[in-house]
Amino acid sequence: MKINKLYISLTLIGINITFLSFKEDPNKKITLKDITFTNPKGFPKPNYNFDNNKLSVEKFILGKTLFYDNILSKDNSVNCGTCHQQFAAFAHIDHKLSHGIYAKIGTRNVPALQNLIWKDSYMWDGGVNNLEVQPINPIINPIEMDETIENVLIKLKKDSTYVSLFKKAYKDTIINSQRLLKSLAQFTGLLISVNSRYDKYMNKKDTFSISEKNGLKLFKTKCANCHTEPLFTDNSYRNNGIKIDTLLNDSGRGKITGIEKDNQTFKVPSLRNIEITYPYMHDGRYKTLLQVLNHYSDTTNFEKNEDTSLHKIGHLTLVEKTDIIAFLKTLTDRAFLYDKRFSDPFVRYN
């Protein structure tokens, strides 16, 4: 009996130890299969392919570790995941404008990070032309991470964990900006959301309710012109009629091109995972999807210079709004939101 008890507690301790060590290093479970890219059915060819940034487990893990590490910010208080939360499709849930270092408030709403490799430019104004160089912006922005790339590299070179992660990824001891940025792009580039109920429905693996079906139909005629399937954006810049916020005075695309007619146009955002990326619009002005639909449904709301394809929407009845919202909620991809490959490796559960 005694021996039996001892045996059982020893086994329990053993199980506990294996369990704990698993939790300590979630990266161990990432295999080549997890980071192999195959173009999802029905999707166009991506704009960013990994041809010049060959995917590997080690580079992906390095990129993911960097993404979640405060080391990228000046006072070690902020990481990319602070603003880009996985459970919110890497947007910042319930934050109108971004919150950065020293509790500073930014000027734009944090967008979801998903299906980035199909975009042809990044940020609400499309100012960034390649996924690899995007992270320079938050790192050097005084109200986001307030660091310099030089200093990040100095810190990484002093950190034995990173010395070893870089060595595993690149087979030598060089730590430079190119490797930092390319590994981050392996992580952000693989944030792909294609397993929503909508996707299953399109692949005949799920069914829609009557309301959802009706919502999809309405969506196709009224919204898909800009929020084009399957990415739910056509990558263009448009003015969707929202009035300019005179405090922020964000001229959007115009600031990048210097062309008058581009003022107050913004990159059409994808609507995947829209249910959980509230609040909405580049400045987070709407808290709910109903508010968004109230906006589209009432032409008297519109800013002058609104995109003419908005006129196709017309007045929406409450039932129509409810149906469209029911459909939009089918775009939530739980598998993506809780995908272990993308989760914060620094989180300790006990």
Which positions touch another protein (CB under 8 A)? 52-53, 123, 127-133, 136-137, 140, 149-150, 153, 176-178, 180-182, 185, 255-258
Paired with 238 in beta bridges are 266
In the complex, least distance from residue 115 CB atom to ligand HEC, rounded to whole angstroms:
9
| C-alpha distance from residue 68 to each of 78, 83, 153, 214, 320 (Å) | 9, 10, 16, 40, 41
Residue with Cβ nearer another protein (126 or 284)? 126
> What whole-number distance in Å separates Cα of residue 148 and Cα of residue 241?
38
CB 208 within 8 A of CB 329: no
Residue with Cβ nearer ligand HEC (144 or 262)? 144
In the complex, least distance from residue 318 CB atom to another protein, rounded to whole angstroms:
42
If phi over 0 gives left and psi between -120 and 50 gives alpha, with beta otherwise, what is residue 90?
left
In the complex, least distance from residue 166 CB atom to another protein, rounded to whole angstroms:
14
> What whole-number distance in Å separates Cα of residue 195 and Cα of residue 216?
17
Interface ranges with ligand HEC (CB under 6 A)? 67, 72, 78, 80, 82-84, 98, 100, 106, 108, 110-111, 113, 116, 119, 122-124, 134-135, 138-139, 144-145, 184, 188, 222-223, 225-227, 238, 240, 242, 266, 268-269, 271, 274, 277, 280-282, 289, 292, 296, 307, 309-310, 313, 324
Residue with Cβ nearer ligand HEC (58 or 250)? 250
DSSP codes, 238-285: E--SPPP-TTT---BHHHHH--GGGTTBEEPPP-TTGGGS-SBTTTT-
In the complex, least distance from residue 7 CB atom to ligand HEC, rounded to whole angstroms:
49
Residue with Cβ nearer another protein (126 or 241)? 126
Residue with Cβ nearer another protein (189 or 279)? 189
177 binds, among ligand HEC, another protein, none (CB under 5 to 8 A by kind): another protein
152 binds, among ligand HEC, another protein, none (CB under 5 to 8 A by kind): none
| C-alpha distance from residue 79 to each of 72, 248, 337 (Å) | 6, 25, 18
Residue with Cβ nearer another protein (44 or 258)? 258
Residue with Cβ nearer ligand HEC (170 or 189)? 189
116 binds, among ligand HEC, another protein, none (CB under 5 to 8 A by kind): ligand HEC
189 binds, among another protein, ligand HEC, none (CB under 5 to 8 A by kind): none
In the complex, least distance from residue 71 CB atom to ligand HEC, rounded to whole angstroms:
10
150 binds, among another protein, ligand HEC, none (CB under 5 to 8 A by kind): another protein
Q: Which two tokens stand for residue 127?
A: 């100012």
CB 72 within 8 A of CB 152: yes
Residue with Cβ nearer another protein (178 or 207)? 178
In the complex, least distance from residue 132 CB atom to another protein, rounded to whole angstroms:
3
DSSP codes, 148-185: -HHHHHHHHHH-HHHHHHHHHHHSSS---HHHHHHHHH
CB 128 within 8 A of CB 121: yes
> What whole-number distance in Å separates Cα of residue 167 and Cα of residue 179?
11
